[in-house]
């Protein structure tokens, strides 16, 4: 559906030019020759953006701007005039204008600024939808879980959200870190303001600073227009840094300064811009270790780690899987207009037996696939992907304590050793894969291997005859 633009200008030629330009760009354009006509149109229909001339008869453009914003506070307005001045620009911005364009203008300049304005409008709409979803579905939207670990997480969100404090959300990929960040924002006093996401891992390093801080015209090759950064768009709201551990050290230093001083300059600019932004960051890596390895600034880590929320992996809260399954079945049945109400008992058992290395995101993908392919009300086991359905199931052996008693410590140590040996055998000595199967960090597994003095399977140690010959020669030398 085409986005609707209201143009208010008393010059017929200018109205015709903008109607042609915007129409060819795919927008639906409505024209008004004065402020009263423009306000009348706004009362009869909804617009995504407005372009208003400053010099209008009877009711001036700045007055029209104020009235437009009163009627629709989320409307983005561009001011346009042949009498450009710094004072008028500042006044228009203070009254809520998104940007300011001087006549004569270049066509691509108008389209560029309008696109930025509409992106902000979409951001406002997303936040409104988020608030509506929170009212309808509860305080934590799509975060599903009744396990003790998740109840602790909900409690921490409720306590931390109303504050101004920076929050660090830690968890493996797919555990729902962005959902937690949105819940924090939606339960904070900033809920009516913007929630802006910084995709730290996907933005090229050379573009990250331009995206964060914006730039002035001519700041670098290709900077044809001035651009607001994400910090400005998030003013009075929240800025979510997804996978903040991927940000380069040089940018980390500038981010730290903004967090400390609450001000920055656009790239190539000299004007200091003050902002009030609440930072929520997420990471799936150990930032303490990154600090030790020199990949992350220690001072920035402590600035971020004011309140830490640790999200458990799905394998550590499997009691939440039935509720998550029901939630995703309902969501995707509605999206795809399918009459699917749940999963069969055998399918649910397969889901419970799997360890979900991709966490909740992987489970969601499996359920979406099942809903789309289902031909009955229940997703049966044959619709569960092979790698999930055929996952090895571990059963604890039945043990009976003899009358004379037993050393629990020795039994656990023996069982732990045999389990590690068996897993290493199945992975041909690949410790990283064995650690994944056992739900351990590779470093933790390595420490346990050393503690139990476990020999790594030979296939892995000697991957070639040359390596095996070298090992045998070394052994002979040692024995001699």
Reported as a single tens digit per residue, the pLDDT across 275-326 is 999 999 999 999 999 999 999 999 999 999 999 999 999 999 999 999 999 9
Higher pLDDT among residues 203 and 433, named by residue: 433
What architecture is the 4-121 domain classified under in CATH?
A: 3-Layer(aba) Sandwich (3.40)
pLDDT of 211 reads: 87
pLDDT value at 137 more than 50 = no
> What is the residue-averaged pLDDT of the chain?
85
pLDDT value at 141 more than 90 = no
Residue 271 corresponds to which tokens in the numbers above? Answer: 């004007």
Instruction: List the single range of 119-123, 189-193, 398-402 with lowest mean pLDDT.
Output: 398-402
Q: Compute the distance between CA of residue 74 and CA of residue 59 in angstroms, rounded to an integer.
A: 22
Residue 453 corresponds to which tokens in the numbers above? Answer: 């003095």
What architecture is the 321-389 domain classified under in CATH?
A: Orthogonal Bundle (1.10)
pLDDT value at 327 more than 50 = yes
Of the pLDDT bands very low, low, confident and very high (cuts 50, 70, 90), residue 74 is: confident
Instruction: Find out whether 242 and 201 touch, Cβ atoms under 8 Å.
Output: yes
**Closest C-alpha among 320, 325, 334 to residue 372:** 334
Instruction: List the single range of 26-35, 184-193, 202-211, 460-469 with lowest mean pLDDT.
Output: 460-469
138-310 matches 4-121 in CATH topology: yes
pLDDT of 475 reads: 43
Q: Compute the distance between CA of residue 211 and CA of residue 205 in angstroms, rounded to an integer.
A: 10
pLDDT of 161 reads: 92
Q: Compute the distance between CA of residue 76 and CA of residue 121 in angstroms, rounded to an integer.
A: 7
Alpha-carbon distance values, 19 to 6, 46, 77 (Å): 10, 18, 16
pLDDT tens column, 234-254: 999 999 999 999 898 988 999
Q: Which of 109-113, 283-287, 419-423 has the highest mean pLDDT?
A: 283-287
Instruction: Find out whether 253 and 297 touch, Cβ atoms under 8 Å.
Output: yes
Higher pLDDT among residues 43 and 140, named by residue: 43
Q: Compute the distance between CA of residue 203 and CA of residue 309 in angstroms, rounded to an integer.
A: 25
Helices 408-426, 431-438: axis angle to 10 degrees equals 130
Of the pLDDT bands very low, low, confident and very high (cuts 50, 70, 90), residue 367 is: very high
What percentage of the chain exceeds 70 in pLDDT? 86
**Closest C-alpha among 113, 115, 78 to residue 93:** 78
Instruction: List the single range of 120-134, 154-168, 244-258, 396-410 with lowest mean pLDDT.
Output: 120-134
Fold of 408-479: Arc Repressor Mutant, subunit A (1.10.10)
pLDDT value at 136 more than 80 = no
Q: Compute the distance between CA of residue 247 and CA of residue 143 in angstroms, rounded to an integer.
A: 27
**Closest C-alpha among 97, 74, 16, 98 to residue 194:** 74
In three state form, how does the secondary structure of the chain look? CCCEEEEECCCHHHHHHHHHHHHHCCCEEEEECCHHHHHHHHHHCCCCEEEEECCCCCCCHHHHHHHHHHHCCCCEEEEEECCCCHHHHHHHHHCCCCEEEECCCCHHHHHHHHHHHHHHHHHHHHHHHHHHHHHHHCCCCCCCCCCHHHHHHHHHHHHHCCCCCCEEEECCCCCCHHHHHHHHHHCCCCCCCCEEEEECCCCCHHHHHHHHHEECCCCCCCCCCCEECHHHHCCCCEEEEECHHHCCHHHHHHHHHHHHHCEEECECCCCEEECCCEEEEEECCCHHHHHHCCCCCHHHHHHHCCEEEECCCHHHCHHHHHHHHHHHHHHHHHHCCCCCCEECHHHHHHHHHCCCCCHHHHHHHHHHHHHHHCCCCEECHHHCCHHHHCCCCCCCCCCCCCCCCCCHHHHHHHHHHHHHHHHHHHCCCCHHHHHHHHCCCHHHHHHHHHHHCCCCCHHHHCCCHHHHHHHHHHHHHHHC
**Class of domain 138-310 as given by CATH:** alpha beta
Mean pLDDT of 45-66: 90
pLDDT value at 84 more than 70 = no
> CA 182 from chain center: how many Å?
9
Please list, in sequence order, all residues whose beta carbon lies within 8 angstroms of the beta carbon of residue 169, skipping any fewer than 6 positions away. 177, 180, 181, 280, 281, 282, 283, 308, 309, 311
pLDDT value at 391 more than 60 = yes
Instruction: List the single range of 84-98, 109-123, 298-312, 456-470 with lowest mean pLDDT.
Output: 456-470
- Domain residues of the chain, as ranges? 4-121, 138-310, 321-389, 408-479
Q: Compute the distance between CA of residue 186 and CA of residue 184 in angstroms, rounded to an integer.
A: 6
Of the pLDDT bands very low, low, confident and very high (cuts 50, 70, 90), residue 37 is: very high
What percentage of the chain exceeds 90 in pLDDT? 48
Could you give the angle at the alpha carbon of 394 between the alpha carbons of 389 and 395, nearest 5°? Answer: 125
Mean pLDDT of 137-162: 80
Q: Compute the distance between CA of residue 338 and CA of residue 329 in angstroms, rounded to an integer.
A: 10
């Amino acid at each position: 559906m085409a986005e609707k633009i209201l143009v208010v200008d008393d010059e017929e030629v200018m109205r015709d030019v903008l109607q042609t330009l915007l129409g060819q760009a795919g927008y639906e354009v409505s024209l008004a020759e004065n402020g009263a006509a423009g306000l009348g149109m706004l009362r009869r229909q909804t617009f995504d953006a407005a372009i208003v001339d400053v010099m209008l008869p009877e009711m001036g453009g700045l007055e029209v701007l104020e009235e437009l914003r009163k009627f629709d506070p989320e409307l983005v307005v561009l001011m346009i005039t042949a009498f450009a001045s710094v004072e008028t620009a500042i006044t228009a911005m203070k009254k809520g204008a998104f940007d300011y364009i001087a006549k004569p203008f270049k066509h691509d300049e108008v389209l560029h600024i309008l696109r930025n304005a509409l992106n902000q409008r979409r951001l406002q709409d997303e936040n409104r939808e988020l608030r509506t979803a929170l009212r309808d579905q509860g305080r934590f939207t799509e975060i599903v879980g009744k396990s003790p670990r998740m109840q602790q997480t909900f409690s921490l969100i409720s306590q931390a959200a109303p504050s101004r404090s920076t929050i660090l959300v830690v968890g493996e990929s797919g555990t729902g870190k962005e959902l937690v960040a949105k819940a924090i924002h939606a339960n904070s006093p900033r809920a009516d303001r913007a929630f802006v996401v910084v995709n730290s891992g996907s933005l090229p390093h050379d573009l990250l600073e331009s995206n964060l801080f914006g730039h002035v015209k001519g700041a670098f090759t290709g900077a044809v227009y001035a651009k607001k950064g994400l910090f400005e768009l998030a003013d009075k709201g929240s800025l979510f840094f997804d996978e903040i551990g991927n940000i380069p050290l040089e940018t980390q230093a500038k981010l730290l300064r903004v967090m400390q001083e609450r001000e920055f300059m656009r790239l190539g600019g000299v004007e200091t811009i003050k902002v009030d932004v609440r930072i929520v960051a997420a990471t799936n890596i150990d930032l303490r270790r990154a600090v030790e390895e020199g990949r992350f600034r220690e001072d920035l880590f402590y600035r971020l780690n004011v309140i830490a929320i640790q999200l458990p992996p799905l394998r550590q809260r499997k009691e939440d899987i039935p509720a998550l399954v029901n939630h995703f079945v309902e969501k995707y049945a509605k999206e795809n207009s399918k009459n699917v109400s749940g999963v069969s008992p055998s399918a649910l058992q397969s889901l419970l037996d799997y360890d979900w290395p991709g966490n909740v995101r992987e489970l969601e993908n499996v359920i979406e696939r099942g809903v789309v392919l289902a031909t009955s009300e229940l997703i049966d086991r044959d619709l569960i992907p092979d790698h999930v359905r055929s996952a090895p199931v571990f059963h604890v052996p039945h043990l009976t304590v003899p009358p004379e008693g037993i050393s629990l410590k020795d039994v656990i140590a023996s069982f732990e050793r045999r389990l590690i040996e068996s897993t290493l055998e199945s992975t041909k000595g690949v410790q990283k894969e064995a650690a994944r199967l056992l739900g351990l960090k590779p470093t933790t597994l390595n420490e346990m291997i050393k503690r139990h003095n476990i020999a790594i399977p030979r296939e892995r140690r000697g991957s070639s005859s040359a390596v095996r010959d070298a090992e045998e020669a070394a052994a002979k030398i040692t024995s001699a």
